[in-house]
Structure 1
């Protein structure tokens, strides 16, 4: 069954406790948290203090996506926030094995994110040490963009790798109830959705529709 990860940056941040309760009750398994530094991507979002506050409010899997030109600056504060997974962009570090060692020493799972223009071949040497790949189906930085469906070929490629069968393939960008079937057909295991959930009137109905598509493929 596809796991659903609402992207908290698209929630009503003035009523975050209510929003958390609603997505929990709606059946979401993960909570996706985008950390943007205003340099690697042209926007700012949250910091470690906000992530710590989220951890105190929810038991959902905290999937933190770090979009920073220098991820080392944020590592200690984020890893100390009791998160479950930290995803970074491999092109932002010169020694991925070093940062992987630091992240795993906190008993936090490690993910690699692929921007639309980055191929799976770019991470072929690290597939054995990561727990997930986040395939970006939009250029990151802002919410509400349409999905670049050609990126789903990367999902299909990863899903067919025998060595990646028990790992998560996450799709992030432009995910809506009406196109969720394309993710599932490609082999995604987790769908990140921001406006596709938080801009709807009934989160439970939306998430149920997303999950129901798994039974139709």
Structure 2
């Protein structure tokens, strides 16, 4: 993974057909996805239950771009090595998911992955400046984590601008997760984001048998996002 600030669209497979994840992943990549976003939820830290390390390992061979794994689980520390071994390129964690976020980020890097910090809508940026030298990505949640298809929370735009100023010229991605559409994408790229996670907005209207709408949706988000730069 080489760092650059070009706009990247990262479809969330939370909105894919779970019975056909391999072909769904190949379809979104063929239709222009830059990264593949994998939402891991434990039914405890967030009110939903999705994938564990065996599923992540099973889909890894189908991903030729970047596997972006977002851990919404607590405690998170005992599972970092398993997700790294399953093939994650990036592992993002929430500061609330363990007692020592600095140590958690160190563990992700020690396991050979890029380290991401995920910030919930109700969590401020206090303390983030002490972690920036340990992270490769900061994911700003623009919905409360747990479910796809939620409404975008506009109060997070100011947070992204503040984060962008804090990061300065460090090689750190700003990722946005939640409610991304062609309408909200330009708000976030104008504020400084470069990675846009989109689930329902990418997968709507298409299928493995008819993947062309995936490409149309990805291009619509990318065009709107780039127009704001």
Instruction: Normalising by structure 2, report the TM-score.
Output: 0.90
- Specify the alignment match of 1:208 in structure 2: 219
Flag structure 2 segments of 5+ consecutive residues without an equivalent.
1-5, 207-212
1:67 to 2:78 alignment: no
Shift of 1:212: 1.4
Measured against aligned partners, the alpha-carbon deviations of 1:67-102 in whole angstroms (never above 9, x if no partner) come to 112002312211111210000001222222322222
SS at match of 1:169: strand
In structure 1, distance between residues paired with 2:103 and 2:20 = 38
Measured against aligned partners, the alpha-carbon deviations of 1:185-214 in whole angstroms (never above 9, x if no partner) come to 111110000111112330111111111124
In structure 1, distance between residues paired with 2:146 and 2:31 = 27
In structure 2, distance between residues paired with 1:212 and 1:169 = 18
RMSD: 1.4
Instruction: Normalising by structure 1, report the TM-score.
Output: 0.95
Alignment of 1:131-146 (within 5 A): 131-146=136-151
Alignment of 1:36-185 (within 5 A): 36-163=41-168, 165-185=170-190
Indicate if the aligned counterparts of 2:16 and 2:24 stay in contact, CA closer than 8 A. Answer: yes
Runs of 4+ in 1 over 6 A off after TM superposition: none
Indicate if the aligned counterparts of 1:158 and 1:164 stay in contact, CA closer than 8 A. Answer: no
Flag structure 1 segments of 5+ consecutive residues without an equivalent.
none
1:29 to 2:40 alignment: no
The aligned length equals 217
In structure 2, distance between residues paired with 1:53 and 1:22 = 16
